[in-house]
Structure 1
Amino acid sequence: MATESIILCSRRIAEKHLKVAVAESATAGRLATAFALTPDSGQIFLGGLVCYDACTKEELLNIPPEIIEKFTAESAEVTQLLAERLTKFFKTDVAIAITGLTSPGGSEKEDKPVGTMFIHIKIPNGVYCAHREVFSGTPETIINKAVARTGELLCNLLDSVSTTSV
């Protein structure tokens, strides 16, 4: 289901004549689904990659194993690289990546508990947002909150850039 924030930012992306693509780990395609269900999807959405496992991040998106080993597959550093490497697959203006921990058994620790999500958004002219937030609830609730938050962050980012500078 598309959240209000995804619907709103999709409209703003369309108004600016931009395209969006996503690389998802913890959200496992939920963000792509949200974009696909908006009224503007045909104008703005190019597609997405689900790279849930670390080996997929390494093999498909060429994330160096030493980066994953140093920072973990669910980290700000890996999330940024995922967003940057989307352009290998999509000619996109807006690149969004999400990683995180929705349930126990990953790389959680005291300073990175279950519910920690990393969101990295890149738009033209080198403008970006790197965001870390800890959500609570079931895995599905955490995923839904992360998708909604991504829409809010993207709307704010798009509002900070004029149409002529994009």
Structure 2
Amino acid sequence: MTDQYLNECGNWLLQRKLTIAFAESATAGRLTAEFALLPDAGKFLKGGFVCYDASLKETVLNVPGKLVEAYTPESEAVTEAITRGLVPLIPADIHVGVTGLTAPGGSESPEKPVGTMFVYGMKTGNRIFSERMVFAGSPEAIILQTISYTAKMIIDALLPDKPA
């Protein structure tokens, strides 16, 4: 994947000597993989954890089952929880979690259609962004759009005039 925001994000991380880790559900490791393909990725990418199944969110990332039941595995609340659950597993400066609906068969509804994606980012334990987006296209197209938009959110959060 060649993407302006992804390449720029890698450069921003390198310039600031920041490290990053991902907790991925709907993107199933693709976000981590795309960051791994950037130049000098070993200097900023710590790793990622794929928690596609809700049980992994609960057992490995310590997301309360009641939270998953109340809000669904693909929700803003659960995305924040998987991001926070990643912190003790993979030490990094920035932690990003992603959940969402890339294809039918999850918790889609008229209010949350297929293409709805949730991204939550933290820098040293503090929220730097939280976003709900709706993308169109095939599952792969939705994932690629999510990756690009996530990279843009990281860049925007790291801009000097924005609070970290």
Question: Shorter-chain TM-score: which interval?
Answer: over 0.9
Alpha-carbon distance between aligned partners in 1 of 2:123 and 2:94, rounded to the nearest angstrom: 5
Change (3 A) 1:127 1:79: closer
The aligned amino acid for 1:80 is E
- Over residues 87-130 of structure 1, what are the superposed CA-to-partner deviations in whole Å (9 max), with x where a residue is unaligned? 11111101011000011111011110000000001113724100
Unaligned runs of 5+ in 2: none
Residues 28, 52 of structure 2: 8 Å contact kept = yes
Question: Do 2:120 and 2:127's aligned partners in 1 also have CA atoms closer than 8 Å?
Answer: no
Superposition CA RMSD, Å: 1.6
More helix by percentage: 1
After TM superposition, the score normalised by the length of structure 2 is 0.95
**1:78 matched to which residue of 2?**
78
1:128-157 deviations in Å (ceiling 9; x for gaps): 100000000010100000011001111101
Unpaired runs of at least 5, structure 1: none
2:107 is matched with which residue? 107
Give me the whole-angstrom Cα distance separating, in 2, the residues matched to 1:92 and 1:20: 5
The TM-score normalised by the length of structure 1 is: 0.93
1:144 corresponds to which residue? 144
Q: Any runs of at least 4 consecutive aligned residues in structure 1 with deviations exceeding 3 A, and if so which?
A: none
Closer, same or farther: CA 161–62 of 1 in aligned 2, 3 Å: farther
Give the residue type in structure 1 aligned to 2:79: T
Identical amino acids, percent of aligned pairs: 40
Cα distance in structure 2, aligned partners of 1:2 and 1:28 = 19
* Partners of 2:5 and 2:95 in 1: CA distance: 17
Residue type of the partner of 1:101? L
